[in-house]
A and B are shown apart, each in its own frame.
Chain A
């Protein structure tokens, strides 16, 4: 069978197709169709020839097969150090073989590649830091994912995720109406406790435009409210766009290169339309990478920069705490051992390692912050990165992947983990569910709200004008 009804080479671009694919429970029919899917070997080879230039080609060719990447890979470590999990082996057995055979591969090979690309590598890029030749297997696996996606060999959830971006401009089916309603609802809901609280929509020329992860709109609207409260207390002149608010990109995980471009352009259009001085993104790793680090290139911006300065939430928060626009009540600082999860996507991939530690210095009582080992740019992936969290087919492998973070957290002796990244947050939540150890985990926003000093004029007043 050349192409299936659900599993085929076309990305999902209509609501109908999206609903049809979603209706296939756990992707049963989808994966059955995948077993019959033909490989367009000519197209595969021509794509490789057009897109595999110096960097990837040289990396594949000069790999000295020294094995120094082995120990750098947490998946190798937690999978009993089986040699098949050595990063170099993984990429040579998949992409390397694909190139060697000039794209002449069969269905079974492509499915094997899919398994490895999405469940043996989270594209955390850690191995690249241990290769003497500077070969980054994470980059190569992202590339392989793109090739697989173009041929229809992509996990069911990510085919849907990519379709969501193409149909709803968000990783979830949140329409513009739903989105605006959610923001209004959150502003109302909190207006009693926070008089004057607003979630300004589509305000032009604001100091800050704020963008989020669609999961917040769909499942954790309180995260939006918390952001609003903190902007309110800091006295920010801010706004959110009614269109182009979704900063994440499941297309990045899926390898849907065209979808990546479409998604990031929605956000950049909003920036051009509203002309904020700068943009702040939420506590999310891959969202930041997609929109700020890789996004400019997808959008064809040669300088590699978004249209306006675009910062991660931790950068904004550190600035507020540093300048005293948000003040912490010293008596409310965290007084228990607490550790910090470094998100690969903005720590290893954009160097924001010290800024998160600066935040910890304001919110944690001295002596209580415990570093993981290793940490900063050498920290390990949470175990759920690269889309691993969301793929049902690979749940058993994902659960094993969590073990490295478990080991690291146990070694700190902490029960509280600060995780300023949606994926890390989810992975640590699932870690506690799979292997209960009494963990608690938190984004920065709720922690700071609990311990900040609220200026008197922002507190609710009773009828006599007294503070409550």
Chain B
């Protein structure tokens, strides 16, 4: 089981993720329509790309946009959560060793202290996101079981990873669960709303192009949208 999950299954999952996300990107771009969207993408490409870059840049910068500044605490929670979520699995030493063993390459590693800290940030961040959904009526009304499930999927590999690392209970059991939840996490990037890992950039780029071309960009007005 362990050998399968850390061997062939890794290939399968990575393949599905790469193909699946590429599919999302390609179908998104192909589905853009200057008439329906009312944005002249092609003739005004330069303005559009500038707008797209601006839009993405100011929204991946903590407090970079008016929207982020309007909710400073949520922004802190949001960015910590996402940094932990993306940074930890990529640079974790244990993952790197596995990468080295199978593919012969390795990325710069992070200290185990930092990895622990970031994992805790994800777990605690996830808890706050759940509490926020329950506490605020304006978020509660939007929330369905699916939204909770996504948080569970996102946080599970981190929680199980921490349990395994601290040797709470049976290490092998928790390691196995950690690997399974990791696979679920990766596959969910393709099959659930977690596809925003790529669609965020595309959606922002589209609105950025809209503003860069039509809604002021060509009038020389810079707006952070």
Contacts and interface: CB of A to CB of B under 8 A. Distances in A.
Interface of A: 51, 53-55, 57-59, 61-62, 64-68, 70-72, 76, 81, 83-84, 86, 88-89, 92, 128-136, 293-294, 296-298, 300-305, 348-354, 377-378
A68 B133 CA distance: 12
Contacts of B203: 55, 58-59, 62, 133-135
Nearest to A67: B139
B28 A351 contact: no
A304 B206 contact: no
Contact of B142 (A89, A136, A296, A302): A89
Contacts of B168: none
Interface in B137-165: 137-144, 147
Contact of B193 (A57, A62, A353): A62
Interface string B20-53: 0000000111111111111110111000000000
B204 interface: yes
A304 B225 contact: no
B219 A132 contact: no
Given A83-B137, A351-B215, A304 B142 contact: no
Nearest to A73: B138
Contacts of A53: 31-33, 36-37
Nearest to A85: B138
A297 B74 contact: no
Of A64, A89, A135, A300, chain B has the most CB atoms within 10 Å of the CB of A64
Given A65-B143, A67-B138, A54 B32 contact: yes
Contacts, number: 157
Contacts of A54: 27-33, 37, 202, 206
A376 to B, nearest CB: 8
Contacts of B206: 54-55, 134
Contact of A133 (B31, B33, B196): B196
B65 to A, nearest CB: 8
B141 A303 contact: no
A72 B208 CA distance: 19
A303 B28 contact: no
A67 B136 CA distance: 9
Contacts of B208: 134
Given A61-B193, A350-B215, A131 B67 contact: yes
Contacts of B225: 128-129, 134, 377
Interface string B193-207: 101100110111011
A302 B66 contact: no
A304 B39 contact: yes
A84 B44 CA distance: 39
B109 interface: no
A30 B203 CA distance: 40
A67 B70 contact: no
B37 A55 contact: yes
A64 B196 contact: yes
Contacts of A349: 214-216
Contacts of A377: 216, 223, 225
B23 to A, nearest CB: 13
A51 B27 CA distance: 15
A303 B40 contact: yes
Contacts of B40: 296-297, 301-305
B170 interface: no
